[in-house]
A and B are shown apart, each in its own frame.
Chain A
Amino acid sequence: MSAPNKSYDPVEVEALKPEEIERMTSEALAAFAAATDLDELAQAKTAHTGGTSPLALANREIGALPPHAKADAGKRVGQARGRVNQALKVRQEELEAERDARVLVEEAVDVTLPYDRVQAGARHPLTTLSERIEDVFVAMGYSVAEGPEVESEWLNFDALNIAPDHPARTMQDTFFVESAADGDEKQTGVVLRTHTSPVQIRSMLDREPPLYVICPGRVYRTDELDATHTPVFNQVELLAIDEGLTMADLKGTLDHMVRALFGEGMETRLRPNYFPFTEPSAEMDMVCYVCRGASVGNPDAPCRTCSSEGWIELGGCGMVNPRVLTACGVDPEKYSGFAFGFGIERMLMFRHNVEDMRDMVEGDVRFTRPFGMEI
């Protein structure tokens, strides 16, 4: 360290006197400390660190000093400005912290306020349930087939081995389409499809086996609307045609479906039944997914879903009748197939505990909205 330069008289430059510098510094520190908010601090900052502040002015004087005095004065001013800036930074942080604690609290809102500006929309659960079922099979390699709802009788009945006078034809009460032509000829041979089976027929007519299709869609029967019936309802049917398909394959496919839709541990049961388009035919049940059979013979824990039967009736199925294959140009000696079908409404009713069929057809937004986009 060099000793003070005695050849220079610092008194000549008043502002650079150590006591002056000390005073300026003290005043700055006092001003910062006195600032009660960030605005006041900003003013103090301008006053004590700005271009016209005493320390800045003093700094300018350094240039006028003789060389031997410059270093000494520069050091003194630099140290002073350092202290001032440090004090400013500290105070700045203090006041910001204070502001954060105060102002942001003042700005707080009630985030629990509802914001139902646009109400949520929803897809109909029958649509989304059908898609969910379709997706199970699409993932397995099936394709989704669709067809007309107004359909020829041949495709809806005859090709399915339901001959004109077959008793089964009276089992389904069919909407018949009237002829547009005037006169007595009212027979159009056209109906509202009573099942999506004509889509199976169309698939067989269109494509060569192997054929794995799932046929969702609207179907029509002349039932009056009540709590458990609707004249317009939705089905999903499945058709698989390949070499060597068996009833065991049918059972396995059904088991897979109910597991995919209702969870592990589910299975199906087949009971003999009669349908003209399948032979052998079966009625298919699935384990009640609510009680899983625990309600059977257990009056203390009855199950409303399955009426304590342990099983829920799903629909019909069977091996495609070789006569149907013949009518579609599929060689029954080479190929066999299985098919099943069931109503989506019924499945929705027991899967979601819907009590009244009418809720599904009336389009009441209060019914549909809670189902959202997927089911």
Chain B
Amino acid sequence: MRVPLSWLREYVDLPAGESGRDVQTKLIASGLEVETVEQLGAGIEGPLVVGQVLTIEELEGFKKPIRFCTVDVGQANGTGEPQEIVCGARNFAVGDKVVVVLPGATLPGDFKIAARKTYGKVSHGMICSGDELGMGDDGSHGIIVLPPEIEVGTDAIRLLELVDEVLDIAVTPDRGYCLSMRGVARETATAYGLPLRDPALLDVPPPNSYGYPVKVTDPIGCDRFTARTVVGLQPEARSPIWLQRRLQKAGMRPISLAVDVTNYVMLELGQPLHAYDRSLIQGTIGVRRAEPGEKITTLDGTKRVLDAEDLVITDDRGPIGLAGVMGGANTEIADHGADPETGEVRGTTDVVIEAAHFNALTIARTARRHKLSSEASKRFERGVDPEAASAAAQRTVDLLVLLAGGTAEAGVTEIVAPSGPHTITIPADHPDKVAGVAYGRETVVRRLQQVGCDVYGQDELMVTVPSWRPDLTDPNDLAEEVIRLEGYENLPSTLPTPPAGTGLTERQRLHRRAGRALAGAGYVEALNYPFIGEAVLDQLGIEADDPRRRTVKLVNPLSDEEPSLRTTLLPGLLSALRRNDGRGSHDLALFETGLVFRPTGDEKPAARLPVDRRPTDAEIAALNAALPEQPRRAAVVLAGAREQAGWWGKGRPATWADAVEAGRLVAREAGVDLIVRQDQHAPWHPGRCAALLAVVDGEEVLVGNAGELHPRVIKALGLPERTSAMEIDLDRLERAGAGVVPAPRISTFPVATQDVALIVDSAVPAADVESALRSGAGELLEDLRLFDVFTGEQVGEGKKSLAYALRFRAADRTLTADEASAARDAAVEAAVERTGASLRA
């Protein structure tokens, strides 16, 4: 809502020097979001006067038509001689009254005017357009042609009210009444403690039976309908400058007198109005729900198919308006002008004014259904004061009579569905309890009265809310009114004492630890969007029947290419990797932790439960069953060098092994000793892919995969060669977590070390050899470590040599050489037995 300060002053006697900024501060404090204060005509300086065009000479030979004019500006130029002005606009004629800016003046935007030579002539000033004067859009972009009765030499700055301040207010949905000057004026008056001149306090004749016939068959959708008729309008009458200017400042474009007046009254009182050309209405005006499939062409020229829920205004032929949203084209007010088909000049002379009150929900639904938000629907959706309808109709009638020479017919139609005022009972100290401030009953009552409520009672207050505040329905609504008028800024600051807490959950701690551990290992966190499409799943080589193909799809994705939610963290991470690579960072290690979305396939639509009670546990379970599984994962991607080359020596490229190690790293944070197995799983290289498993409740569970990506995937996604990746399920890891770690017993006896080299088939996993060695070595084994892997002629084709260092130690004695050797031999024997290993000579 744009509120010109000059207009606001009509209803509230603000202090003379009060600026828009001052008013803004006051209104913000009382809860109106005044976003900006626009300074209209800032810096404008005359002479800027009304002139009359005396002569026009068309200048030839230029790219565009140029006029050399002489204009009578009276004594404004000091000489009384005609002013010579060059002008590029063409929408004026000899004799027209125009706005002339003379040399020495300044227009908005620090545009200084001086006599200057142009198109071979000297132009002593300018004939002005609305744009140049900062007046806003008048739809023409041409120069302003003023009504002929305005005298030459009149100061145009005052005439056109060019200097003003406009408050732009973002009205929240609960404050529909502030979509009017009347509402903003009421807030302003309260904020300043000044009286309000309520523009809705008008003398309105009582309804009678000879107004325009109206039949409301849906009193739920329309609980009030006022119709008034004005006849004998002069079709050529134009809106006066003051009215046009107020509309412009409020952000609306002047159109024709009748339309301008209805818009003006809507801005003033917040009541949307509609004017029908009476000669185009056939029979009784009706209000009813639309027949399904019924059609109407609205004023914006769109043909719309109606829904059975839409409320329509009808005449004998059918719908003539979409109630509360937009009128129909077939009863549109005609401006004076020639009919393009017949050439006949005509204009509307008789109008029927509709001031009705429609159900907010009905209008909201219709506006949304037809994607048609209008000034009217915006107001009805947020709640219009039903009691203002007859006053608004009266104000419209008065203005049409005054400005268009019309005559008000005596008939007044008013259909009102009975409804009682809304009353809320609250304890007098309720606002005190909500705020934590002792306002006292007197203050509470006074503030509620300022809002417009009627208040009765002592300890219990019976509060009847004003008709323009349909948003006030609950005790806390009243508390808010009191607290905001007393000033949120005056609330004290106290700190409640929650019961002692227990800190983060295990899941939350694991999430943090995993992130810290990965960052500590050199990975940089990237938070990627979870949107994916089929294309990336294709590029990752994921099979059609892979569960990662079953995605949560969005009805309204940002991009049709990416309509689904991720089922793996890799697409986002890999595109971040590619982006970094493209920007010149080539040695990359990235990680992400976040949810993936895995439909179970059994989701049923989520019910819309009632809100007047807690849902049952079964209802909550059903809501949850409508959701996909959303486990938390961690993933890494690597490319380039894991260790850089430098003065210390060579670098080391990132490999599959780093990816697997990242899995171990994360698992360790969960207290899980990861089991690593050879695997074949997209998008990984079939020979360089590890399955990561953990033991949950005694069973091995797959928790993730790691390795080098498949070369085809690398090519398809445009990734650096040998890009490696790991993805692991943090929630499963948490369940596999070992819990409390038992402390090891530390022996201080000497260690006995033994090295063994074993030759196995190259297909035998080192992990199997290691576990055989461990089990064979028995409890004297303190630790073992694979320190070399060797392949080559010496070990034979298809074989590899694995060299282990074994450390033996006893808890209670120094081991003899024989004891250590015996333990080693037992270890080797187990390896021979289980993995076909042979001791390397």
B361 adjacent to chain A (CB < 8 Å):
yes
The residues in B between 511 and 544 inclusive whose CB is less than 8 angstroms from any CB of A are 512, 515-516, 518-530
The segment from B52-60, B268-276, B280-288, B493-501 found at the interface with A is B493-501
Q: Find out whether the CB atom of A363 lies under 8 angstroms from the CB atom of B590.
A: yes
Q: How large is the interface on B (under 10, 10 to 19, 20 to 34, 35 or more residues)?
A: 35 or more
Binary contact readout A277-294 vs B (1 if CB under 8 angstroms, 0 otherwise): 001111100000000000
What residues on B are CB-neighbors of A369 within 8 Å? 524
Cα–Cα, bound, A187→B555 (Å): 9
Binary contact readout A219-252 vs B (1 if CB under 8 angstroms, 0 otherwise): 0001010000001100000001010111111011
Q: Find out whether the CB atom of B628 lies under 8 angstroms from the CB atom of A115.
A: no
A83 adjacent to chain B (CB < 8 Å):
no
Cα–Cα, bound, A131→B646 (Å): 36
Q: Find out whether the CB atom of A365 lies under 8 angstroms from the CB atom of B520.
A: no
The segment from B446-454, B596-604, B825-833 found at the interface with A is B596-604
Residue of A271, A319, A363 ringed by the most chain B CB atoms within 10 A: A363
Cα–Cα, bound, A252→B31 (Å): 20
Cα–Cα, bound, A322→B644 (Å): 60
Q: Find out whether the CB atom of B512 lies under 8 angstroms from the CB atom of A362.
A: no
Q: Which residue in chain A gives the minimum CB-CB distance to B528?
A: A363
What residues on A are CB-neighbors of B30 within 8 Å? 272
The segment from A3-11, A14-22, A170-178 found at the interface with B is A170-178
Q: How far is the CB of B161 from chain A (nearest CB, A)?
A: 29
Q: How far is the CB of B171 from chain A (nearest CB, A)?
A: 9
Q: How far is the CB of A357 from chain B (nearest CB, A)?
A: 12
Q: Find out whether the CB atom of B613 lies under 8 angstroms from the CB atom of A117.
A: no
Count the A residues whose beta carbon is within 8 Å of the partner chain — how many? Answer: 107
Q: How far is the CB of B691 from chain A (nearest CB, A)?
A: 26
Binary contact readout A174-198 vs B (1 if CB under 8 angstroms, 0 otherwise): 0111111000011111101000000
A279 and B501 in contact, given A131-B512, A188-B603 (Cβ under 8 angstroms):
no
Q: Find out whether the CB atom of A365 lies under 8 angstroms from the CB atom of B31.
A: no
A351 adjacent to chain B (CB < 8 Å):
no
Cα–Cα, bound, A122→B515 (Å): 9
A373 adjacent to chain B (CB < 8 Å):
yes
Cα–Cα, bound, A187→B604 (Å): 10
Q: Find out whether the CB atom of A143 lies under 8 angstroms from the CB atom of B502.
A: yes
Cα–Cα, bound, A364→B597 (Å): 25
B589 adjacent to chain A (CB < 8 Å):
yes
Cα–Cα, bound, A267→B488 (Å): 14
What residues on A are CB-neighbors of B840 within 8 Å? none
A158 and B646 in contact, given A150-B630, A246-B436, A328-B614 (Cβ under 8 angstroms):
no
Residue of A187, A256, A274, A372 ringed by the most chain B CB atoms within 10 A: A274
B80 adjacent to chain A (CB < 8 Å):
no
A180 and B488 in contact, given A167-B173, A247-B434, A369-B524 (Cβ under 8 angstroms):
no
A120 adjacent to chain B (CB < 8 Å):
yes
What residues on B are CB-neighbors of A328 within 8 Å? 614
Q: Find out whether the CB atom of A154 lies under 8 angstroms from the CB atom of B175.
A: no
A142 and B613 in contact, given A279-B476, A280-B480 (Cβ under 8 angstroms):
no
The residues in B between 1 and 60 inclusive whose CB is less than 8 angstroms from any CB of A are 28-31, 33
A301 adjacent to chain B (CB < 8 Å):
no
A37 adjacent to chain B (CB < 8 Å):
no
Cα–Cα, bound, A159→B603 (Å): 21
Contact of A190 among B434, B516, B627, B651 (CB under 8 A): B627
Q: How far is the CB of A172 from chain B (nearest CB, A)?
A: 12
The residues in A between 307 and 333 inclusive whose CB is less than 8 angstroms from any CB of B are 319, 321-323, 326-329
Q: Find out whether the CB atom of B488 lies under 8 angstroms from the CB atom of A271.
A: yes
Cα–Cα, bound, A185→B521 (Å): 49
Q: Find out whether the CB atom of A247 lies under 8 angstroms from the CB atom of B579.
A: no
B735 adjacent to chain A (CB < 8 Å):
no
Q: Find out whether the CB atom of A248 lies under 8 angstroms from the CB atom of B488.
A: no
Q: Find out whether the CB atom of B499 lies under 8 angstroms from the CB atom of A141.
A: yes
A270 and B503 in contact, given A177-B554, A210-B498, A246-B434 (Cβ under 8 angstroms):
no
A127 adjacent to chain B (CB < 8 Å):
yes
Cα–Cα, bound, A164→B610 (Å): 12
The segment from B206-214, B248-256, B580-588, B784-792 found at the interface with A is B580-588
What residues on A are CB-neighbors of B591 within 8 Å? 121
A187 and B435 in contact, given A365-B588, A365-B590 (Cβ under 8 angstroms):
no
Q: Which residue in chain B gives the minimum CB-CB distance to A175?
A: B554
A180 and B599 in contact, given A117-B646, A188-B606, A269-B489 (Cβ under 8 angstroms):
yes
What residues on B are CB-neighbors of A245 within 8 Å? 496
Cα–Cα, bound, A322→B424 (Å): 15
What residues on B are CB-neighbors of A118 within 8 Å? 522, 642-644
Q: Find out whether the CB atom of A180 lies under 8 angstroms from the CB atom of B555.
A: no
A200 adjacent to chain B (CB < 8 Å):
no
The residues in B between 744 and 782 inclusive whose CB is less than 8 angstroms from any CB of A are none
Contact of A279 among B480, B502, B599 (CB under 8 A): B480
Q: How far is the CB of A192 from chain B (nearest CB, A)?
A: 7
Q: Find out whether the CB atom of A120 lies under 8 angstroms from the CB atom of B504.
A: no
A114 adjacent to chain B (CB < 8 Å):
yes
Q: Find out whether the CB atom of B595 lies under 8 angstroms from the CB atom of A149.
A: yes
B199 adjacent to chain A (CB < 8 Å):
no
Q: Find out whether the CB atom of B504 lies under 8 angstroms from the CB atom of A144.
A: yes
The residues in B between 564 and 618 inclusive whose CB is less than 8 angstroms from any CB of A are 565, 573, 576, 579-580, 583, 585, 587-591, 594-595, 597, 599, 601, 603, 605-609, 611-615
Cα–Cα, bound, A155→B624 (Å): 10
A140 adjacent to chain B (CB < 8 Å):
yes
Q: Find out whether the CB atom of A150 lies under 8 angstroms from the CB atom of B627.
A: yes
B822 adjacent to chain A (CB < 8 Å):
no
A168 and B489 in contact, given A127-B527, A319-B476 (Cβ under 8 angstroms):
no
B834 adjacent to chain A (CB < 8 Å):
no
Cα–Cα, bound, A251→B492 (Å): 7
A70 adjacent to chain B (CB < 8 Å):
no
The residues in B between 149 and 208 inclusive whose CB is less than 8 angstroms from any CB of A are 172-175
Q: Find out whether the CB atom of B552 lies under 8 angstroms from the CB atom of A273.
A: no
Binary contact readout B634-647 vs A (1 if CB under 8 angstroms, 0 otherwise): 00000000111011
Q: Find out whether the CB atom of A247 lies under 8 angstroms from the CB atom of B365.
A: no
Q: List 9 A-B contacts (CB under 8 A).
A: A141-B498, A146-B507, A152-B624, A218-B594, A242-B496, A248-B437, A249-B495, A273-B31, A273-B172
Q: Which 10 A-B pairs have the closest CB atoms?
A: A329-B614, A272-B31, A246-B436, A363-B526, A248-B436, A189-B606, A363-B576, A280-B480, A274-B172, A141-B498
Q: B residues bordering A, Cβ < 8 Å?
A: 28-31, 33, 172-175, 361, 364-365, 368, 381-382, 433-437, 474-477, 479-480, 483-484, 488-489, 491-505, 507-508, 512, 515-516, 518-530, 552-558, 563, 565, 573, 576, 579-580, 583, 585, 587-591, 594-595, 597, 599, 601, 603, 605-609, 611-615, 620, 623-624, 626-628, 630, 642-644, 646-648, 651
Q: A residues bordering B, Cβ < 8 Å?
A: 113-124, 126-127, 131, 134, 138, 140-144, 146, 148-155, 158-159, 161, 164-168, 170-171, 175-180, 185-190, 192, 205, 210, 212, 218, 222, 224, 231-232, 240, 242, 244-249, 251-253, 255-256, 267, 269-274, 279-283, 319, 321-323, 326-329, 336, 360-366, 368-369, 372-373
